[in-house]
């Protein structure tokens, strides 16, 4: 008589996940995003996103090419936007549009040449550039789809790495605090109460103000160093619960060191908490990165992320160019929705008691 092979925690969780259709669908979406990230990070796709393949602000193909606006012909201002009575700056704009330059009856001797140059210049600059792209182009004529994928690479990498850092710190502090107890616990609890007394947004902005230099590493540090409190609290509680269990006492009896008991024996039994915390943090950090980059405290100039795309798109929307905003918004909403749904399912699958 052979005992049936028993299924472990992870096997059971996977079985529960498989039975959940929403979870599997969202997992597929997340996996697709990660695959895209991997391909773009290795340069297999969208390595050429910075090529100016389209004309400036080329509209999406399904909208059709913009009516021929002679963009660079001098003396013919690009067709003015109709007045918007709700625009707080309407008066100023009207004043600016009024012909302000009095020519004093002097004819510009170079006008004809300039016009000539302008026409040929436009022809030369526009040569070989597409009037429409599948989802339009930005200010410089970059393909929006490629730019969105590239921007997603930055945003997702920041989210993943900073969540890893935050959960790593939270786990380390929580393990030490819960396992050692006593003065160590008091110290980390004091530290925890300090960090939770300052709202996280304010903490992030304060660190951003101090660090000054922009960069992907800076954002990762800001988010990782301020986000460890959530994992810390839960992991500490788990360690307090586990340290008196029999398997830990048994490990002690066979002479396992403290470090080995903490991370060799207890950690595998509480790692599902860390995993769920991490996926919760990834979602939060992707959102935070977008806001930081939007405000200009995030990625440096020259690096594209969803936040920097939204920053550009905000001004484009007033000109009626909605495609960059839409692309970044849809990509982000898809990823974050799928990731949140998957996180919920993962938590239910790993901790069936909470329902």
Partner 1 sequence: MFAYIVRRLWQMLPTMLGVVLLVFFLFNWVGGDPAYILAGKMANAESIANIRRQLGVDQPYYVQLWIFIQQIASFDFGLSWATGEPVANIIATRLGPSLTVLIPLTVLETVIGIALALAVAFVRGSLTDRVVMIACTVGMSVSILIYIIVFQYGLAYKLGWFPVQGWGGSFWENLLRYSTLPIVIGLAVSIAPTLRLFRSFVLDEAGQDYVRTARAKGLSERRVMWVHVLRNAAIPIITHVMSNLPALLIGAFLLERFFGIPGIGREVILAVERSDFPVIKAITVYVAAATMLFNLLTDLMYQAVDPRVQLT
Rounded Cα distance between 196 and 334, Å, is 31
For residue 83, state whether it binds partner 1 (rule: CB under 8 A).
Answer: no
- The answer to whether 81 contacts partner 1 (rule: CB under 8 A) is no
The verdict on 221 binding partner 1 (CB under 8 A) reads no
Q: How many residues bind partner 1 (CB under 8 A)?
A: 52
Query: CB-wise, 7 or 93, nearer to partner 1?
Result: 93
Among positions 167, 332, 346, 350, the unique one binding partner 1 when judged by CB under 8 A: 332
- Written as six digits, the tokens of 64 are 């059709």
Which residue's CB is nearer to partner 1, number 37 or number 283? 283
- Minimum Å gap between C-beta 7 and partner 1 is 28
Of 53-61, 85-93, 118-126, 163-171: span binding partner 1 (CB under 8 A): 85-93
Q: Sketch the per residue contact string, 3 through 42, with partner 1: x for CB under 8 A, - otherwise.
A: -------------------x--------------------
If the CB atoms of residues 175 and 290 are measured against partner 1, the closer one turns out to be 290
Could you give the string, one character per residue 276-315, with x where binding to partner 1 holds by CB under 8 A and - elsewhere?
-------x---x--xx--xxxx---------x--x--xx-
Nearer to partner 1, 5 or 209 (CB): 209
Nearer to partner 1, 53 or 205 (CB): 205
Exposure string over 276-313, b if 16+ CB within 10 A, otherwise e: bbbbbbbbbbbbbbbebbbeebbbeeebbbbbbbbbbb
Tokens of 305: 């992320």
Q: Considering the complex, what minimum distance in angstroms separates the CB of residue 153 from partner 1? A: 17
Going through 38-136 in order, the beta strands assigned E by DSSP cover none
- Phi, psi at residue 280, to the nearest 5°? -65, -40
Task: Give Dmax (Cα) for the chain.
Answer: 109
> For 84, how many CA atoms within 13 A lie in the half-sphere containing its CB?
10
Among 21, 43, 86, 128, binds partner 1 (CB under 8 A): 86
Identify the CA nearest to 158 among candidates 276, 30, 249, 288: 288
**Applying CB under 8 A, does 333 fall inside the site for partner 1?**
yes
Of residues 183-212, those binding partner 1 (CB under 8 A)? 190-191, 193-203, 205-212
C-alpha dihedral (341, 342, 347, 353), degrees to nearest 10: 70
Q: How far apart are CA 31 and CA 338, in angstroms?
A: 10
CB < 8 Å & 24+ apart, contacts of 179-184: 179/239, 179/243, 179/258, 179/261, 179/262, 179/266, 181/240
Query: Is residue 11 classed as helix, strand or coil in its secondary structure?
Result: helix
234 binds partner 1, rule: CB under 8 A? no
Site residues (vs partner 1, CB under 8 A) = 22, 84-88, 190-191, 193-203, 205-212, 283, 287, 290-291, 294-297, 307, 310, 313-314, 317-318, 325, 329, 332-333, 335-337, 339-341, 344
């Amino acid at each position: 008589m052979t005992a049936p092979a028993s299924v472990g925690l992870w096997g059971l969780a996977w079985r529960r996940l498989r039975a959940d259709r929403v979870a599997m669908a969202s997992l597929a979406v997340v996996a697709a995003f990660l695959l895209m990230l991997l391909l773009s990070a290795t340069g297999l796709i969208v390595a050429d996103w910075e090529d100016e393949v389209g004309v400036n602000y080329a509209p999406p193909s399904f909208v059709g090419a913009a009516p021929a606006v002679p963009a660079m012909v001098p003396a013919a201002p690009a067709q003015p936007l109709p007045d918007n009575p709700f625009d707080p700056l309407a008066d100023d704009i009207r004043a600016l549009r009024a012909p302000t330059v009095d020519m004093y009856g002097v004819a510009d001797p170079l006008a004809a040449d300039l016009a000539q140059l302008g026409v040929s210049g436009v022809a030369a600059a526009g040569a070989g550039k597409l009037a429409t792209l599948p989802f339009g182009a930005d200010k410089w004529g970059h393909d929006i789809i490629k730019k969105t994928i590239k921007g997603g690479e930055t945003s997702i990498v920041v989210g993943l790495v900073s969540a890893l850092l935050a959960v790593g710190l939270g786990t380390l502090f929580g393990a030490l605090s819960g396992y050692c107890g006593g003065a160590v616990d008091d110290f980390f609890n004091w530290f925890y109460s300090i960090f939770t007394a300052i709202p996280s947004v304010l903490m992030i902005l304060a660190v951003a103000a101090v660090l000054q230099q922009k960069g992907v590493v800076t954002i990762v540090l800001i988010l990782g160093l301020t986000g460890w409190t959530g994992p810390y609290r839960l992991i500490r509680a788990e360690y307090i619960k586990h340290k008196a269990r029999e398997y830990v006492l048994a490990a002690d009896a066979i002479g396992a060191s403290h470090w080995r008991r903490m991370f060799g024996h207890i950690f595998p039994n509480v790692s599902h908490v860390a995993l769920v915390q991490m996926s919760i943090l990834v979602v939060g950090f992707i959102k935070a990165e977008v806001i930081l980059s939007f405000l200009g405290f995030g990625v440096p100039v020259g690096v594209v992320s969803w936040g920097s795309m939204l920053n550009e798109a905000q001004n484009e929307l007033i000109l009626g160019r909605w495609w960059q905003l839409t692309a970044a918004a849809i990509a982000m909403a898809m990823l974050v929705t799928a990731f949140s749904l998957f996180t919920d399912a993962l938590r239910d699958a790993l901790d069936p008691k909470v329902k």
